[in-house]
Amino acid sequence: MSEDPIFAAIDATWPAARLLKVGPWQLRDGQGGGKRVSAATAAAAVGPSDVPDAEKAMLREGLQPLFMIRPGEEALDAALDARGYGVLDPTTAYSLPVAGLTDVPVPRVTAFCIWEPLAIMEEIWAQGGIGPERLAVMARTSVKTGILARWNEKPAGVAFAALHRTTCMVHAVEILPEQRRQGVAGWVMRAAAFWAQAQGAKDISVLCTQENTAANRLYSSLGFVPVGQYHYRYKDLQEVQ
């Protein structure tokens, strides 16, 4: 199977703790870092008969049976559905040329690119459910930065950005509830774009679950366009033993 650039960027900028190649499958050990670093994907053509091998390998490694379904994998999706796997988190991948967000300068003291994360950044992430395990995912990347936003003279939000080739992926965008709907997330994305531009990136990308209507509207309003979609298929451990 040919490598899709957006999924290659996702893997590189939000990496699993451990990768395991089992037959036609790429398994991931996320060590608590979330579905994106814990889902198995097809690394070659697969059919319904290949699914039990993936399940057995995940159980053997102590991993939850979880698959990411990408465009063109309708047959795998149907096979998992037939085995009782439910759908989780349909997600859209968005992209935009970096120049589309560097046309307007970020106001002074509005957003700062910082790595290592400050304590206040970790506190804001924690409020959004992004704890030590996901911070460990961030630490595993190479070219990266955290972004701290300020608004109304107070901390307002955070994000994480990392580079893969000429693509900057933005992850873990979290705006404090009292600072939302004031344009803070837009400035965070622009700050990420200026950082990306300085690293030589051509494009900036972000992932958004389809149920997050506010974030989808934001990214569309900034000029982002969909470049890929995926969802997960999940089954309880006890059901496959």
- Domain ranges (residues) in the chain: 5-93+230-240, 95-227
Under a CB-based contact definition with an 8 Å cutoff, are residues 106 and 187 in contact? Answer: yes
pLDDT of residue 241: 43
pLDDT of residue 237: 55
Structure tokens at 45: 């053509």
Q: What CA–CA distances, in Å, run from 29 to 33, 58, 71, 133? A: 9, 9, 23, 12
d(CA 159, CA 125): 8
Farthest-apart Cα atoms in the chain, separation: 58
pLDDT of residue 176: 98
**10-residue mean pLDDT series, the chain (241 residues):** 84 97 97 97 94 96 96 96 97 98 96 98 98 98 98 97 98 97 97 98 98 97 98 77 43
CA 100, 106, 111, 112 torsion-angle sign:
positive
**Fold that domain 95-227 belongs to in CATH:** Aminopeptidase (3.40.630)
pLDDT of residue 188: 98
pLDDT of residue 2: 55
Place of tokens 């030589």: 200
